[in-house]
Structure 1
Amino acid sequence: MTTNGPGPTTIRRRIRLLLRQLRADRGHSQEDVCRVMAWSQSKMARIERGTTNIPVRDLRDLLEFYEIDDADEVRRLLDLAKLARRPHWAGAYRDSVPAPYMDFLGYEDDALRISQYHPFVIPGLLQTEQYARLLVAVGPRRRDGDDEAEARVRLRLARQRRVFAQPPRPGRVRIVLDERALTVVESDQVKLDQIEMILSRLPDIDFALLRRDTATDSVLVGPFSLHEFGSEADPDVVYVASQPEDVALIEDPEVVAGYKRAFDDLYHQAASGDEARHILDTIATSLRGTSA
């Protein structure tokens, strides 16, 4: 996790998981809580989904209803509620991307390990600015206007700077890429710049490349990002993606475990280390000749 401790997204999830567990342990339904607390059902649902922060006063009253009388535990939870209200580092871009993507960025910050697979395009952490602009220009959100498109590109670059601000811990960022994703754009110069970008990041990431002749079924898996936290308080999550900012959260432990197995299978099929670098160098050399 970040050196300053978990961010507001992770803390908000801790709170909602704790509150759901407390309610279940005491045998209350959401309707029971709403009746006693004089809350609407929608408010209760938003709190337990983590889509809104619970006010400190409401949390204090709820803990009293749940008969949490340990002063240290109450103080700890109230402190968490205050920390959850800290601003998101990407808050300036909130209106330009879907809300689930903002949470995705928060979990990415705090994850001990990030494992990503993409069969179609270069993942956002490895995209050049030109490649990112191309994806935004052809994506389904292209009609949002130039300002919104520019904001999404800036956010993608800011995300890269944040993740790679310091040399990541060995193995923290693992990326498996299908070789076909390297050549989907038309411009040879864009492809060359993109491959050189990946080559420049190899010291910072654990990168593996699925060869065309071994990746026949890999596209059926679909792109996903696995965030592992190494903590019982913060269960691992998976985000599946259709577009770079269109993501859906998966928290079911059995499903998350299935994605872990899928990533391991893909990684072991792929070329990594010096072999992956050699493949990238070979493609780059070919593209340099074409560009010349």
Structure 2
Amino acid sequence: MAADRQAPSILGFPHRPEWGAAAHRKALAGHLRRCRDHAGIAPRQAARCIHSSEATISRMETGRTAFKAAEVEQLLDTYQVTDPRERARVAELVREAAKPEVWQPYANAAPPALRPLLAMEPAARRIISYEPQLVPGWLQTEEYAEIVIRAYHPTKPAAEIAERVALRMQRVKMLRRSESPPVLLAVMDSEVFRRMVGTPGVMYRQIKHLLALLEELPYQLQLQIAPLTVGAAGAIGHPVVHLRFFTPEYLPDMVYLEQYEGALYREKPSESERYQAILNNLCGVATPAEQTRALLEQALNSWR
């Protein structure tokens, strides 16, 4: 019987505004689904309680819609959630989930396929990234980013290119924050430093920027370079990002697979674990992070 099972709790998910609205919305969505399951109530019955549709309950339980405080309160009543601490935490999450996403100030320039990654990466405890073609977006200089974005979108107006660059520049700020910053483990193919983006001067300043970031963020940033000798381990062919969160019991791992004109996301444990293994293998055969500075200095000299 439902009463014999321990009621789900949301108290383990903290109220952390720096994690962003999406993380709070996703955690709350999963909690509402677990509460409904624990109460033994079907989605259609839950929908009737808030005078809505079964599709609305589905969207609420997958975090694909905004939460209305009154509806959430009604659902908690229906699910017999009476603990005042639980209800207070839910109310905090509802308020946080209603705040703008980190990409919304750049809504005109944020590609829809990238928005889930932009929304969730502030809540990550650890990010592993593999980039076979370019310096990862978090670590690009403004001029490098502008050249890359313009190459991908040659017909876009200058104002939109500038907005996309501004969006890319703000992403590194999460590594600098004082409260629970994520750790970024970035692996780049060695050819990234041989492929000229812009001019030799652009490349020189980009590599100097990477060296400066390693100096500034010794605990939050780890870079590895994968030489051609890693063979098949480095032949992934497209950027991969694996996010692991501070509260995995509420936020499952997320994998972002970049495509030329879109992206795929993987959150099923079997899929995220597979990409975790692929990236772990790549990190294991790439040049150790302790040697990255020396390799960057060598690359720097080649662009003088």
The TM-score, its normalising length taken from structure 1, stands at: 0.85
Q: Give the conservation status (yes or no) of the 8 Å contact 1:94–1:102.
A: no
Shift of 1:142: 4.3
Give 2:255's aligned residue.
Answer: 238
Cα distance change of structure 1 residues 98 and 4 upon mapping to structure 2, 3 Å threshold? same
User: Which of the numbers 213, 218, 222 marks the counterpart of 1:206?
Assistant: 222
Change (3 A) 1:138 1:27: farther
1:149 aligns with 2:161: yes
Q: Give 1:119 shift.
A: 1.2
Residues of 1 paired with 2:64 and 2:179: CA distance? 32
Match of 1:78 in 2: 91
Q: Between Structure 1 and Structure 2, how many residues are aligned?
A: 285
State which of 185, 193, 197 in structure 2 corresponds to 1:182.
Answer: 193
Helix, strand or coil: the match of 2:81? coil
Q: Which runs of 5+ in 1 are unaligned?
A: none
Match of 2:245 among 229, 232, 236: 229
Deviating more after overlay: 227-236 vs 12-21: 227-236
What's 1:250 paired with? 266
Displacement after TM superposition at 1:83 (Å): 1.9
RMSD, aligned α-carbons:
2.7
- Residue 213 of structure 1 aligns to a residue in which SS? helix
Q: 1:6 to 1:217 in 2, by over 3 A?
A: closer
Native 8 Å contact 1:250 1:256 kept in 2: yes
Q: Which amino acid aligns with 1:30?
A: P
Q: Counterpart of 1:206 in structure 2: which amino acid?
A: Q
1:164 matched to 2:181? The reply is: no
Amino acid at match of 2:63: G
Aligned to 1:94, which of 107, 111, 121? 107
Q: Specify every segment of 5 or more residues in structure 2 that has no aligned partner in the other structure, as ranges.
A: 1-13
Aligned to 1:53: 66
Cα drift, residue 149 of structure 1: 1.6
CA contact (8 A) 1:176 1:207 kept: yes
Distance 1:234 1:22 in 2: 16
How big is each residue's C-alpha offset from its partner over 1:200-251, in whole Å with a ceiling of 9 and x where there is no partner?
A: 22232111100022244423263222222232233322222225x9444322
Summarize the alignment of residues 56-67 of structure 1 with structure 2, pairs less than 5 Å apart: 56-67=69-80
1:239 aligned counterpart, secondary structure: strand
Shifted more, 147-156 versus 30-39: the winner is 30-39
Deviates most, 204-213 or 194-203? 194-203
- Change in Cα spacing, 1:234 to 1:66, as seen in structure 2 (3 Å) is same
Measure how far apart 1:176 and its partner are. 0.7
The correspondence for 2:128, drawn from 97, 107, 115, is: 115
- Give the whole-Å Cα distance in 2 for the aligned partners of 1:11 and 1:185: 41
Distance (Å, rounded) in 1 between the aligned partners of 2:180 and 2:282: 22
Identical-residue share of aligned pairs (%): 24
Equivalent residues of 2:39, 2:80 under 8 A apart: no
Which amino acid counterpart does residue 68 of structure 1 have in structure 2?
Answer: V
Q: Deviations over 1:239-283 (max 9, x none)?
A: 22225x944432212211222222211111111234222222212
Q: TM-score, normalised by structure 2?
A: 0.82
Q: Is the 8 A contact 1:136 1:152 kept in 2?
A: yes
2:108 counterpart SS class: helix
Deviations 1:115-147 (A, max 9, x none): 1111122111111112111121121x4444322
